[in-house]
Amino acid sequence: MRRLWRRPAARKAAIVAVLLVAWQLATLWAASPLLFPTALTVLEAFARSIANGEVPGYAAQSLKVLLTGMVIGAALALVLTTLAVTTRIGAEFLETVTSMFNPLPAIALMPLSLLWFGLGIKSLIFVIVHSVLWPMSLNTYTGFVTVPQTLRRVGQNFGLTGWRLVVGILLPAAFPYILSGIKIGWAFAWRTIIAAEMVFGVAGSQGGLGWFIYQNRFEMNTDLVFAGLLTVIIIGLLVENLFFKWLERRTVHRWGMSAAH
């Protein structure tokens, strides 16, 4: 028992369990079940919406849009940063546009996006691209400029120039920074897609976890609203703790490259 307690994962699981019990007790005594359902009701609703395929379907829909946006954003970031490290005007362009657009919340572009692309997947993808492009470009660029000069020269010594130098030397050498850019991009994209889908919910379209949450609020299915939030949390945790941890073990840890902040 004491050995188990020494593992951080075990302690964290215990914290979650305590929170759930506190929630259960607090809602049993104090709250209206319509506004704040008990932990058990929520878990039950969660299990039900998983079993009937509703939540997995919506989650898959959200993730598909999100991944499309991230891939497009990453490709654009690669083009921008390649121009930035190979030409001076490219560097100045990147610095100017990132400082302009990085502080702009993606959701603030939603009205414009709806005007330009209409109600549909394209509008969502547009705001996702905006939310991931700038942080990913910024990180990748920082990674590129911090590549040691020796490594750059080694690549030139092998006759590599232009994009061959970028792909062969700069990209892998900057990978710790790129990876942290992808992590930040994921976190931004995940928040943005949920928020953006709620705007769609208002507009009467459908699909996605955000829409699921919003729709159930309309129908006063508070337990399903909580189930939707729970899904958002769980997917976030899984991607962070399984996928990114796995990717780090396979790359930066194996290569002994200190991870960037």
Q: Which residues bind another protein (CB under 8 A)?
A: 148, 150-151, 153-154, 156-160, 164, 168-169, 172-173, 175, 251, 254-257
Cα–Cα distance measured from residue 12 to residue 2, given in angstroms and rounded to the nearest whole number: 15
CB of 155 to another protein, least distance (A): 9
CB of 136 to another protein, least distance (A): 20
For 15, 22, 231, the CA distances from 237, given in Å and listed in that order, are 15, 22, 10
Q: Which is nearer to another protein, 104 or 151 (CB)?
A: 151
Q: Which is nearer to another protein, 18 or 154 (CB)?
A: 154
CB of 253 to another protein, least distance (A): 10
For 103, 144, 238, the CA distances from 190, given in Å and listed in that order, are 17, 26, 13
Q: Which is nearer to another protein, 13 or 154 (CB)?
A: 154
DSSP letter (8 states) at residue 160: -
Cα–Cα distance measured from residue 72 to residue 78, given in angstroms and rounded to the nearest whole number: 10
DSSP H/E element including 46: helix 39-51
CB of 75 to another protein, least distance (A): 21
Q: Which is nearer to another protein, 170 or 209 (CB)?
A: 170
> Is the Cβ–Cβ distance between 127 and 110 less than 8 Å?
yes
CA angle 236, 242, 246 (to 5 degrees): 135
CB of 132 to another protein, least distance (A): 24
Cα–Cα distance measured from residue 255 to residue 186, given in angstroms and rounded to the nearest whole number: 23
Q: Which is nearer to another protein, 39 or 178 (CB)?
A: 178
